Structure 1
Amino acid sequence: MSEPTTPTKVTLMAPLTGVMMPIEQVPDPVFAKKMVGEGVSIDPLVGQLVSPIMGEVIDLQPSGHAVTIRSEEGLEILIHIGLDTVKMQGEGFEVKVKEGQLVTIGDPLIDFDLDVIATNAKSLLTQMVVTNSENIASITPATGLVHAGEEIAAELELAELAEEDVAAVGGRTYSSEAILVPNPTGLHARPAATLANLAKKYNADIRLRRGEDSANAKSIVSIMGLAVACADKVTITAHGKDAEAAIAELSQALKDGCGEDCPPLPSGTEDTTPIPAIKEEPAEAVGPLSGDPNLLLGVAASPGLGIGTVFQLHHDDIVVEEYADDHHKERRKLNSAIDRALLDLSALEKRLEKESSPDKAAIFAAHQEILGDPDLLDLAVSAIDKGKSAPFAWRGAFNTFADQLAGLDNEILAGRANDVRDVGQRVLEELTGQRSEKPELAEGTILIAEDLTPSDTAQLDRTKVVGFATAAGGASSHVAIIARSLDIPAVAGIEGRALEIADGEKVVLDGTKGTLQLNLTDAEIATIRDRQDRLAARKAVEESHKDEPATTTDGHNIAVVANIGGVDDAKQAMTKGAEGVGLLRSEFVFMGRAKAPSEAEQAEVYADCSKALKPGQPLVIRTLDVGGDKPLPYLPIPPEENPFLGVRGVRVGLEKPEVLRTQCRAILAAADAGAELHVMFPMIATIDDWRQAKAIFDEERAKVQTTAKV
């Protein structure tokens, strides 16, 4: 580790003449809660904005209401005139500079009409914010009246930086071309996590920009907070020694959908003219109302019928102390609690993978990414350094981020607020030792709650819970995804009066229709049970034919084989009548580990998968397919222009032949376990790729001298 450099101070002069105000008092949570960064607010008395520091104009909003300057120290200073002034579309603003221009203290930046802004905007308060606040250790704002360019508005102490970080501060700023986001549901949790992970590989300061808004590209929560929808136009800016490489890799990742399968964008979106963001309509504050006192409406979240008695689930609030004496001790407490939560989440993810629940496992992998979010941690640490206790600071930080997401118009992204609260609550319990007691549930329980977290849902006892309804959430939430994987009927967004139903009352929950019925007669319940029985009988008939061959009407047999990620998948496929395995994704053996699996470990897994099949059935093992969106910590791949089509799949094995050779030997060792083994080399681009891979396999076969057929 390099020795840190000596901290230095930076002075920000007043960017305009006016009265200083604490930024915490600004009537806008984005600034007041320092989501954009640390800074100050000024109530202007004169309509001219000047440069508070020497630097370069790196961003100028088209409407003229905001400008960003990068100082010689690498600080990015955003000055935002008024609140909600973007809606004025440039009226009342006269820009005096252009992007790329070098400025010094006192140089005019923007002239603005105080009367026009006062009449048309929410407030005249002007914010000066350091958007890369992770680079400052403290800020000391001035008070009272200040004069533009003549008096100090704030003094900043730079954070201690290691040499590699100091190098990142220097250099020029790079910007990508405009990129149209191809993801059908925008940059939700999983693509946001992929993008943030790629960004974390670089020392450069990287921002994702959408219109006038920007986010730390290393922060999954900040990326989601941009509410980027399908076909939205975004750009990436980066500053630092590896900025150019970062721009290249992240741009390509965005174009490729950050690991998601994305259909082509609609015709006409590929031009370079500005396009409006595609937004979903804001959710109604009140959901559908039935008008029938015995029928409650909601959103169908997980199909199926549940007949049972109500249990109202409530979460107890955790009590925390606001202040603490030793901020160093509080930081250590927070770090320790986060580490323990990460271990729990990692164990949960691995358990779900073994249970053949990749969708659920991916949710808790994303939760681990949230815990590593730099902006979330910075917000908590900032409060701790100001004398707050670790539990108080952490609760404030995760609630701030959750509230930010919950306020978005995009239903999917707003739903991820629940994930942030789930992760936050997990750490808070670790910090305080206060844990919610698990209620004793009877068989045939219908849970009703204001909301459930993914962790709550994943731990539901399917033998007792026959359905649940929540007042919050939607069909695309992670809670709904888990409910569907558990085959638990669920209704989201249920009418609020559901929370008033007494415990023990008999109800019928229909997760297919999104309804909850009350006060049913015995005859009505009998009819519903009959419907359940008929559905079960139909399923049983279908199950009885699972081992019959799939034959077309003209007499051709079609082999039905499974796509699996592990031994449990193979066993489950056999219970469903699969005639073999068409693809074993072998990377599951390599992922979630600190080092590569040994030859013996791999051979054992492949043999177990083979034994799960019937003798002679095909088992196609795909060799390791990583790179791009599936990096491994112990198998570093250098940044490249197109990581998704570059060193990926078989090309990883060709560049690191011992990895491929070890896997080939492991496959050969499992050849006599029962199934008929086949090998697939992924991402073959040329005939030479195949020939080289096949040659390696043949060489290893000759070395082990096996006669087994593969």
Structure 2
Amino acid sequence: MTATQPLELLAPLSGVLLALDKVPDPVFSSRLIGDGLCIDPTSQTLCAPLAGVISDIQDTGHAVSITADNGVQVLLHIGLDTVNLAGKGFSRLVGEGQRVEAGQPLIEFDADYVALNARSLLTLMLVVSGEPFALLASDSGPVTLGQPLVRLSPGETAETEDEEEGDALFSKPLTLPNANGLHARPAAVFAQAAKGFDASIYLHKQTQSANAKSLVAIMALQTVQGDTLQVSAAGEDAAAAIKALVALLAEGCGESVAAPVEGVEPRVSLASTSLLRGVCASPGSAFGQVVQVAEPALSIPETGGGEALERAALDRGLHAATEALQSLQAKAVGSAQAQIFRAHQELLEDPTLLEQAHDLLAVGKSAAFAWNSATLATAQLFQGLGNALLAERAADLADVGQRVLKLILGIHDRAWELPERAILIAEQLTPSQTASLDTHKVLGFVTVGGGATSHVAILARALGLPAICGVPPQVLTLADGRQVLLDADKGELHLDPDLAEIEQLQATHREQIARRQRDVAQARLAAITRDGHHVEVTANVASLQEVEQSLSLGGEGVGLLRSEFLYLDRHRAPSPEEQAGTYNAIARALGPERNLVVRTLDVGGDKPLAYVPMDAETNPFLGLRGIRLCLERPELLREQFRAILASAGLTRLHIMLPMVSLLSELRLARTMLEEEALALGLTELPKLGIMIEVPSAALMADVFAPHVDFFSIGTNDLTQYTLAMDRDHPRLASQADSFHPAVLRLIATTVKAAHAHGKWVGVCGALASEALAVPVLIGLGVDELSVSVPLIPTIKATVRELDLADCQIIAHQVLGLEEAAQVREALRLYHAATVETSPVVEH
């Protein structure tokens, strides 16, 4: 190994040199794109500061990127906001892929035209590949074209006969599939995966580059669906890093990659003085009193007590905030909530934020001032980029910033003193505030900021709180205590609500509360129809905590343990010991009399793993998912079989294979299971079944039935594959309805085939959790309903109100209907009639 010779960058034009800090644009001055310098030009030809290849040149001619032979990448950007000139005033003299020498002209520009029509003529030279450098001139004053300005220290590279070894490797360009770009959650997934490699990794979008291990830098790229991206990496594991990260990007970084909604943004209007309109963030309605909420101002000292002391204070605040976020993740019942706080935790570890804060500590600022300045600057950057989604994500960064800031200042959060029936009004709520709301007092909330895709909206839906956002600022002038009606379904806040509407709303709300209380009180009663037919009601779970909660709510076992919860959001696979310990704990909680159905690893499609690289697929939902992926990586499946088998004898163990479409897949998996059981000395195999998610499996259920012990129907995937509609597509989601007669007919076919061979059938998809669907599922002969944990009491109570013979009649009737809407209406009428005649069960 020999040190690479220092590399000098020449002045690309003549003018006056300025420090980057003085550039009136936070994207450049905050060094989110890269460090460098600025020149106020007096010449009108931009020239190459170094020799290399034109790696990118904008069609508009205002920016060009050069990559040197040793991987150094320099971005040259003429003026501020010059992209808006659409190429007017610029003449490109070189093309992408062309080799240039230092001093060679690249772009000519009309300085007068640009100065008159753009925000500024200031020209940037940024080292986006991150090499350390030293200025060879004063950071201000005149410079001339070709004058040496910067000395770079690229570090060390390997000396081999292969000229390219040691250089950065670049992936092929790929198109970003995420409908909303790389916002907080997918960016956090990508950054977390990148941190699992030793290589130096960058994500490139046109002339912009971002440290792939920095969530903030990735988000600052302001990516949108359809952007062309590249991943570069330099280091021993560069090739493996690129392969894994390209696969992660292609599959949406843990996010469904549905097509974007076409059309305009919802318009916010003030219809009248008695009605304020916004956008529905969480459905529902409520009648209550206005409570205006706002965070008190904090006193932040600017000067610190010494860098070491202030760095220690910042570290303590970050550590305490990390522990608090981990606690919120542990308490989060739904995966969406846990993902939000995982993204917040990722922000605490973000190298760009920490670097900005440490730079301020180094010049004598306090920990509170340094941290607050770094987070506010980045949040303002997001808000000013003209992207609604990035503006929403600024709330997440502000939330994290406030959390750490209060800990540094020694301020303990106190719960708001709220009256009963509160409808909160705020400029903006943070995810932390939303997650901690007392739902016994808060009926809903209204905010001026935010959006339907914000983390606050996701949390509101998880808490069951109606909410609207994007309401005009006039809402902040409403007096505390004023009675208002919140109709979140319509995105409306009624300031003078009609008394009849209020009474009807309150009566419905009281009935729902009374029904819920009665269902919970009777949750331990068996789910037996009025004419004596028992239906087993079990739980869909993804943790020991959810298993324990399901048992307290009357769950009769676990019908679906999503084993992938052990694998997601980490850099490497869980150890066999960790897996076995988790399955054993769940099995002991259930005991020997209850079923435990463990679904083997179901990843791929919308659930990639950072440490299981998968090739990019045009349609991952039709590619390597579930059992297909596991059979391609048999050791992954064998290891999971061994871990699951460790709990044999502790409970009634069942193993379920996802996404089976071929009998050969079942046979191969059974052989592997038998071999692992034999190696462990087991004399009795657990029950082995398959999920019915693929139409071919349902249509050939009579062929599969002799070879399985049970079927469990995953209605979510079965619906999207049957109707050829992505269940997450924003414009098709309402039509991808599991009540469609075609889906119900496939369920009927599966049940008939299973019962002919003496095998039982469960439904573990979302359809089982809908009370409206219970009569038709029972009528079709389904033996088990595996449901969302909180809904166990409701589903059991619904079963007790029904009569099997009547259910069989209504099931036969709806199979002959044309559309899901007709099925739903027929079941609503049936439900209304059933409720009127059903006796109340005493306990």
User: Is 1:23 paired with 2:17?
Assistant: no
One-letter code of the match for 1:30? V
- Name 2:302's counterpart in structure 1: 322
Residue 40 of structure 1: CA displacement? 1.7
- Name 1:299's counterpart in structure 2: 279
Inter-partner Cα distance in structure 2 for 1:106 and 1:297: 58
Specify whether residues 604 and 557 from structure 1 end up closer, same or farther in structure 2 by C-alpha distance, changes over 3 A only: closer
TM norm structure 1:
0.81
TM norm structure 2:
0.69
1:220–1:369 Cα contact (<8 Å) kept: yes
One-letter code of the match for 1:690? A
- Name 2:673's counterpart in structure 1: 694
Inter-partner Cα distance in structure 1 for 2:181 and 2:31: 25
Gaps of 5+ in 2: 689-843
Task: Tell me how large the CA RMSD over aligned residues is.
Answer: 4.3
Residue 78 of structure 1: CA displacement? 1.2
Aligned partner (choices 346, 354, 374) of residue 397 of structure 1:
374
One-letter code of the match for 1:465? V
CA displacement, residues 247-277 of structure 1 (integer Å, 9 cap, x when unaligned):
33322222222233435x69xxxxxxxxxxx
Inter-partner Cα distance in structure 2 for 1:652 and 1:430: 48
Residue 136 of structure 1: CA displacement? 5.3
Task: Considering fraction of residues, name the structure with more helix.
Answer: 2
CA displacement, residues 517-542 of structure 1 (integer Å, 9 cap, x when unaligned):
33558776445423433555787899
2:157–2:166 Cα contact (<8 Å) kept: no
Aligned partner (choices 354, 357, 367) of residue 377 of structure 1:
354
- Name 1:68's counterpart in structure 2: 65
- Name 1:366's counterpart in structure 2: 343
Q: Secondary structure at the match of 1:434?
A: coil
Inter-partner Cα distance in structure 2 for 1:160 and 1:392: 34
Gaps of 5+ in 1: 267-277
Aligned partner (choices 221, 230, 241) of residue 236 of structure 1:
230
One-letter code of the match for 2:415? K
Aligned partner (choices 490, 509, 532) of residue 513 of structure 1:
490
Aligned partner (choices 197, 201, 215) of residue 196 of structure 2:
201
Aligned partner (choices 650, 656, 678) of residue 680 of structure 1:
656
2:277–2:472 Cα contact (<8 Å) kept: yes
Aligned partner (choices 428, 433, 439) of residue 456 of structure 1:
433
1:650–1:682 Cα contact (<8 Å) kept: no
- Name 1:36's counterpart in structure 2: 33
Aligned partner (choices 452, 465, 474) of residue 475 of structure 1:
452
Specify whether residues 438 and 586 from structure 1 end up closer, same or farther in structure 2 by C-alpha distance, changes over 3 A only: same
2:205–2:230 Cα contact (<8 Å) kept: no
Inter-partner Cα distance in structure 1 for 2:324 and 2:546: 23
One-letter code of the match for 2:647? I
Inter-partner Cα distance in structure 2 for 1:432 and 1:161: 43
Inter-partner Cα distance in structure 2 for 1:485 and 1:216: 33
User: Is 1:14 paired with 2:11?
Assistant: yes
Written as runs of structure 1 = structure 2, the 5 A alignment for 1:158-557 is 171-230=166-225, 232-241=226-235, 242-263=237-258, 287-292=268-273, 294-324=274-304, 326-352=306-332, 356-518=333-495, 525-533=502-510
Residue 437 of structure 1: CA displacement? 3.2
Inter-partner Cα distance in structure 1 for 2:133 and 2:303: 23
One-letter code of the match for 2:271? S
Inter-partner Cα distance in structure 2 for 1:159 and 1:324: 34
One-letter code of the match for 1:381? H
Q: Secondary structure at the match of 2:79?
A: coil
CA displacement, residues 155-175 of structure 1 (integer Å, 9 cap, x when unaligned):
56x599999xxx9x9734444
Inter-partner Cα distance in structure 2 for 1:689 and 1:399: 56
Inter-partner Cα distance in structure 1 for 2:29 and 2:201: 23
Q: Secondary structure at the match of 1:667?
A: coil
Specify whether residues 389 and 139 from structure 1 end up closer, same or farther in structure 2 by C-alpha distance, changes over 3 A only: farther
One-letter code of the match for 2:477? E
Residue 583 of structure 1: CA displacement? 2.1
Inter-partner Cα distance in structure 1 for 2:131 and 2:608: 26
Q: Secondary structure at the match of 1:40?
A: strand
CA displacement, residues 288-325 of structure 1 (integer Å, 9 cap, x when unaligned):
21322x33322222223333333221112332222336
Please, which moves more after superposition, 318-327 or 576-585?
A: 576-585
One-letter code of the match for 2:310? E
- Name 2:804's counterpart in structure 1: none
**Greater Rg by CA:** 2
Q: Secondary structure at the match of 1:512?
A: helix
Q: Secondary structure at the match of 2:121?
A: coil
- Name 1:118's counterpart in structure 2: 115
Inter-partner Cα distance in structure 2 for 1:336 and 1:383: 17
CA displacement, residues 54-95 of structure 1 (integer Å, 9 cap, x when unaligned):
444332223322122335664422111112222333333333
Aligned partner (choices 84, 87, 99) of residue 90 of structure 1:
87
Specify whether residues 691 and 521 from structure 1 end up closer, same or farther in structure 2 by C-alpha distance, changes over 3 A only: closer
2:248–2:608 Cα contact (<8 Å) kept: no
CA displacement, residues 449-475 of structure 1 (integer Å, 9 cap, x when unaligned):
111111111111112222222121122
- Name 1:57's counterpart in structure 2: 54
Inter-partner Cα distance in structure 2 for 1:628 and 1:329: 48
Inter-partner Cα distance in structure 1 for 2:501 and 2:95: 72
Specify whether residues 639 and 162 from structure 1 end up closer, same or farther in structure 2 by C-alpha distance, changes over 3 A only: farther
Instruction: Provide the identity percentage.
Output: 39
Inter-partner Cα distance in structure 2 for 1:344 and 1:138: 43
One-letter code of the match for 1:153? L
- Name 2:598's counterpart in structure 1: 621
One-letter code of the match for 1:448? I
Written as runs of structure 1 = structure 2, the 5 A alignment for 1:660-675 is 660=640, 662-670=642-650, 673=651
CA displacement, residues 82-116 of structure 1 (integer Å, 9 cap, x when unaligned):
12222333333333444445544423232222233
Inter-partner Cα distance in structure 1 for 2:654 and 2:607: 23
Specify whether residues 436 and 578 from structure 1 end up closer, same or farther in structure 2 by C-alpha distance, changes over 3 A only: closer
Aligned partner (choices 149, 153, 177) of residue 153 of structure 1:
149
Residue 663 of structure 1: CA displacement? 1.0
Specify whether residues 281 and 35 from structure 1 end up closer, same or farther in structure 2 by C-alpha distance, changes over 3 A only: farther
